[in-house]
Amino acid sequence: MTKVNNDCKVSIIVPTYNEKETIISFLEKVTHQISKNNFDAEIIVVDDGSPDGTAELINNFSKTHTNITLLNRREKMGLASACIYGFSNTNSPILGVMDADLSHAPDALPYLLNPLLYNMCDITVGSRYIPGGRVFNWPIRRYIISRTACFLGSLLTTVKDVTSGFFFLKREVINNVPLDPIGFKICLEILVKGNYQTIMEVPFTFCDRISGKSKMGTKETLLYLKHLHKLYKHKRTTKKKNMQIA
């Protein structure tokens, strides 16, 4: 395990599992944006024991890019827990999450990071479903499922796209917050439980993965519904406690 650079201002957490087809292209594009915009940023890849050689590719790439760290986990433990693991392995004041399959456009990074760097908000969320945002090369079935999932999530937060998974935040948003998500949607967990005042949604174009297999399926859909139920319950309980304190 390589030591994380704790001097960086921004840490981008990238969970991976069997992403050998896209990981190098992803890292090239993100490091280009970091250099182009002069961001003081590092990339922390959390790999869940990918059997396809993803970790080896990252290790080789990191030899010529000192702002890339690979954290290896022995088995597949899930995207949300990978993000939390990444958060806990850096002291950076700004944290973010991106997918390694290039569905999250690297050229959107300045638009998500600058509002935080200039203290304009506490959280930025990449959104497919606000003016300027869109999805590309996506089957209609996936689109309908995504919009339905976002509608159900909108009952918990004002954010229009709670499932994009492309977001950045100030560390204090999650300080001392007991994050315990079910499934993939760590962003929704943070939006419901986090300590923040202002959110900015940033439009971006979501492109379906160009290679590899999508990790979304029936199991993940059921986990999302279970997660929603848990968060609805949390919000009701928190509201009752706040009313009692008042």
What is the per-residue pLDDT across 59-104, written as a single tens digit (0 to 9) for each? 999 999 999 999 999 888 889 999 999 999 999 999 999 999 999 9
Orientation of helix 23-36 relative to helix 54-62, angle to 10°: 30
With H, G, I as helix, E, B as strand and everything else as coil, classify residue 148. helix
- Domain-wise residue ranges, the chain: 10-245
How far apart are the C-alpha atoms of 220 and 115, rounded to whole Å?
32
Exposed / middle / buried, residue 219 (Cβ in 10 Å: 0-12, 13-18, 19+): exposed
Q: Which helix (H) or strand (E) holds 83?
A: helix 79-88
Choice between 207 and 39, residue whose per-residue pLDDT is larger: 39
For residue 200, what are the CA distances in angstroms to 3, 20, 42, 115, 130? 32, 32, 22, 8, 11
Q: At residue 235, what is the residue type? A: K
CATH architecture of 10-245: Alpha-Beta Complex (3.90)
Q: What pLDDT does residue 246 have?
A: 30
∠187-169-50 over CA atoms, to 5°?
55
